[in-house]
Structure 1
Amino acid sequence: MNSEKEPFQQKNYIQKSFFYRFSQFVGFLLGARFFVAILLTFALYVSTFFLFNQDETFRKFVFDFKVHGIIFCTVLTILAGGIINQFYDFEKDHIVKPFRTRIQSFIKQKYFLYAYLFLSILSLGVAWTISHRVFVFFVVYQFFMWFYSHKLSRILILNNLTFVSLTLYPFFGMMVYYETFSKKVLLMAIFLFLILLCIDIVKDTLTKSVDKAFGYITIPNYFKNKNTKIIIVSLLMITMGVSMKLILRTGISGFMAYYFAGGLFVFILCIYLLLNDSRRSKFITLNILRFWVFVGIIAMLLNGLEGKL
């Protein structure tokens, strides 16, 4: 009788072991914000080739290992930044992101720290082989990633500005690397900065009470709901103004022109939803703005392919 149970028990043990290992793997990916890193990598490649590096041929770009090395270091730094951020926000995430925290609980926090150190050191090691300037660039990037998670994420206004700046920091590095300075690129950078800032503030409105309980001083829990709404609507209206300037003054054309024109209607819809002042409306607004950023990456890709063909 026992001999009949043994294969079943062994099979059950294998299934539990597989589930545990798989949960550990998924937990690590979520903790490192792996999927965000993939999106940013895609955005970096698209913007680098089609915006910052318009004169270089595709063949030359493919074999430009220095650029690939910089983007690789960026990905490692973003993964490390995601890990250290979830380490400091672990208690808050128990309430805000219970499903993700439950999956991450399969891995001890010390292993996340080991992964953070490994990814950071590997990134700096690769950066050092590229050049001393690139090494310094990533030392600064990693320091502010850590400092944001440790201190700045709890400070009013600085938390939003630092988060958005760190998101755009790799793109700024590529712009400096290729010395691509123009009115169009500047306005596009301002547009992206504003829309990411709106996303971050709207996100904070959804976690207002939790942020306050854990000592995060955000715009929604410092100002009244009415003032927060005025700030977000004002930022969206400024973003609309930047969009109109890009269309009328920079000679932008193709899919990007359609993107910025369509953005005017998207932002009007977001303003309408925010005036409704319900949690559901804020959640919908947040996802519309996030989706519109992704649409912008696709529009840049299509616009670039159209120009290259």
Structure 2
Amino acid sequence: MTNETKPTSRNALYRVSQLMGFLLGARFFVAVLLLFALYVSTFFLFNREESFRNFVFDYKVHCIIICSVLSILAGGIINRFYDKEKDQLTQPFRSRLQSFLKEKYFLIAYVVLNALSLGLAIFVSHRVFVFFLIYQFLMWFYSHKLSKIIVLNNFTFVSLTLYPFFGMLIYYQTFSLKILFLAIFLFLMLFIIDITKDTLTKNADKMFGYDTIANRLGYQSTRSILLILLIITLATSIILSVGIGFKNIIAWYFLLTIIVIIGTVFMLFRNQKNDKFKSLNLLRLWIFFGILAMLFDGIYHKYPWLI
């Protein structure tokens, strides 16, 4: 290897590290998952009448979804800005990658992403503009203040995650008992995930002044709260599986959720090494499977000839 090749290789590696640091700092991969979930839920859940062709050429829907993703990316950056010190303890590898990029570039990206989102929103309508202006303010306020207030931090985080879906629900004006129970189920799953995550970052949260349920009540009481939430989620799953009917793929997903919840309870109460981490990832993975189940269920009913 020549002397010219070595600096070039180091420079390329540095640039890749900068890119990965930015993507992780902006929660890019979470945003991609939410993008996928938004398109699946919008077309197969909220949009009941519109054909695929009309959906594809409905520029307002695409603009709203893109605005959501841009705002989520910006929210990830501002959240990283306020959680930087804590992340150095809880996520050292990601923090190391992010250190390759100067702080000012993250802040510039935050402003640009929010501006692009609002610019696109005003193109759709003034109401969409206000909707996303409120969304961006709430994400900043959560990162700045609410993330350190017990219970309110979990509640706000989950609500902000579901905020874009609420926007699509309003856009299509598709209100039903099924959607209500689906929203309750998803809210509970995300709430459980966020509380479980707090049990893993308990020491770092306490060190940097994050008042969480795990820190205030201790693990035993937190585990009892998680058990109650899991039981409510279990009941919601049963109601959904019976109410939807077992001719639907999504109904079997909710039936299998019972097994997942029982497995989560077992791991939480066994309390062996890495059990909390395993239960956290199991619930996250199960939400992703839920998106896939909705996708295949929608294709099966709208386009059975594809299967």
> What TM-score bracket applies, with the shorter chain setting the length?
over 0.9
Please give the per-residue CA displacement for 1:277-300, whole angstroms capped at 9, x wherever unaligned.
234111110011000000000000
Query: How many Å apart are 1:8 and its aligned residue?
Result: 2.0
Alignment of 1:117-132 (within 5 A): 117-132=111-126
Confirm or deny that 1:102 pairs with 2:67. no
Give 3-state SS (helix, strand or coil) of 1:8's partner. coil
Query: How many Å apart are 1:165 and its aligned residue?
Result: 0.2
Please give the per-residue CA displacement for 1:254-305, whole angstroms capped at 9, x wherever unaligned.
1101000000111011011111123411111001100000000000000000
Q: Distance in 2 between matches of 1:251 and 1:170?
A: 28
Alignment of 1:1-309 (within 5 A): 8-251=2-245, 253-309=247-303
Q: Distance in 1 between matches of 2:218 and 2:74?
A: 35
Q: Does the CA-based 8 Å contact 2:267-2:279 persist in structure 1? A: yes
Q: Does the CA-based 8 Å contact 2:244-2:251 persist in structure 1? A: no
Q: Distance in 2 between matches of 1:253 and 1:209?
A: 47
- Amino acid aligned to 1:282: K
Instruction: Give the percent of matched residue pairs that are identical in Structure 1 and Structure 2.
Output: 58
Q: Distance in 2 between matches of 1:44 and 1:139?
A: 19
Greater Rg by CA = 1
Q: Distance in 2 between matches of 1:47 and 1:250?
A: 16
**Runs of at least 5 residues in structure 2 that lack an aligned partner in the other structure:** none
- Amino acid aligned to 1:283: F
- Amino acid aligned to 1:31: G
Q: Distance in 2 between matches of 1:10 and 1:226?
A: 59
Please give the per-residue CA displacement for 1:5-44, whole angstroms capped at 9, x wherever unaligned.
xx82221111111111111111100000111000000000
Q: Does the CA-based 8 Å contact 2:246-2:252 persist in structure 1? A: no
Give 3-state SS (helix, strand or coil) of 2:209's partner. coil
Q: Distance in 2 between matches of 1:122 and 1:105?
A: 25
Aligned counterpart, 1:4: none
Q: Distance in 1 between matches of 2:285 and 2:16?
A: 29
- Amino acid aligned to 2:81: F
Q: Distance in 1 between matches of 2:240 and 2:13?
A: 51
What TM-score does the superposition give when structure 1 sets the normalisation length?
0.96
**Runs of at least 5 residues in structure 1 that lack an aligned partner in the other structure:** 1-6
Aligned counterpart, 1:3: none
Q: Does the CA-based 8 Å contact 2:242-2:251 persist in structure 1? A: no
Query: How many Å apart are 1:253 and its aligned residue?
Result: 4.1
Q: Does the CA-based 8 Å contact 1:247-1:260 persist in structure 2? A: yes
Q: Does the CA-based 8 Å contact 1:183-1:250 persist in structure 2? A: no
Q: Distance in 2 between matches of 1:148 and 1:51?
A: 29
Q: Distance in 1 between matches of 2:124 and 2:217?
A: 46
Q: Distance in 2 between matches of 1:253 and 1:174?
A: 27
Please give the per-residue CA displacement for 1:75-114, whole angstroms capped at 9, x wherever unaligned.
1000000000001111101110000000100011111001
- Between the two proteins, the alignment pairs up a number of residues equal to 303
